[in-house]
Structure 1
Amino acid sequence: MASDLDFSPPEVPEPTFLENLLQYGLFLGAIFQLICVLAIIVPPSEPRNVEVTRKPKTAALSASKRPKKEAKKKW
């Protein structure tokens, strides 16, 4: 009766090339997603100076509001 039991593992077919490609692609995609999430959560080592990086708005407004030359009116 003990000789009737078969405890050998079932035969599993070898994965194909496309199955291996899919497995490694999913693995790399998961690593990329973790890196992206960590980049959002972990702050940069040096805080950026916001005032230096922004362009002054007053200079842009004054440049666009130059006085226009008046055309000579011909009567």
Structure 2
Amino acid sequence: MASDLDFSPPEVPEPTFLENLLRYGLFLGAIFQLICVLAIIVPIPKSSEAEPAEPRNVEVSRRPKAVVPSASKRPKKETKKKR
């Protein structure tokens, strides 16, 4: 009865090329996500050699904007004729 039991490890087939590609692609994607999260969390110090940006003149930076009627405030159609 003890000789009937097979305790050898099951045969696992070798991974195919596409399975390997998927595995390494997932690893690269995870590393990229970790880098992106660390870039958000860890601030990058500004270098002292960089020249400060010149403040823009307020009058020059403001441009008149054209008034665009919004979709909710359309002019009502006149149903009656003007006499």
Distance 1:23 1:54, change over 3 A: farther
Distance 1:6 1:42, change over 3 A: same
Structure 2 residue 29 is matched with structure 1 residue 29: yes
Q: Alpha-carbon deviation of 1:58?
A: 2.7
User: Which of the two has greater helix per residue?
Assistant: 1
Q: Aligned equivalents of 2:2 and 2:35: distance in 1?
A: 53
Question: For structure 2, which runs of at least 5 residues remain unmatched after alignment?
Answer: 64-83
Counting only pairs closer than 5 Å after superposition, residues 1-75 of structure 1 correspond to structure 2 as 1-46=1-46, 52-53=52-53, 55-58=55-58, 60-61=60-61
Distance 1:54 1:2, change over 3 A: farther
Question: For structure 1, which runs of at least 5 residues remain unmatched after alignment?
Answer: 65-75
Runs (4 or more) in structure 1 with deviation over 6 Å come to none
Q: Aligned equivalents of 1:41 and 1:33: distance in 2?
A: 12
Paired residue type of 1:21: L
Aligned-residue Cα RMSD (Å) equals: 2.7
Q: Aligned equivalents of 1:43 and 1:5: distance in 2?
A: 60
Paired residue type of 1:3: S
TM-score normalised to structure 1 length: 0.63
Q: Aligned equivalents of 1:54 and 1:29: distance in 2?
A: 40
Partner secondary structure for residue 53 of structure 1:
coil
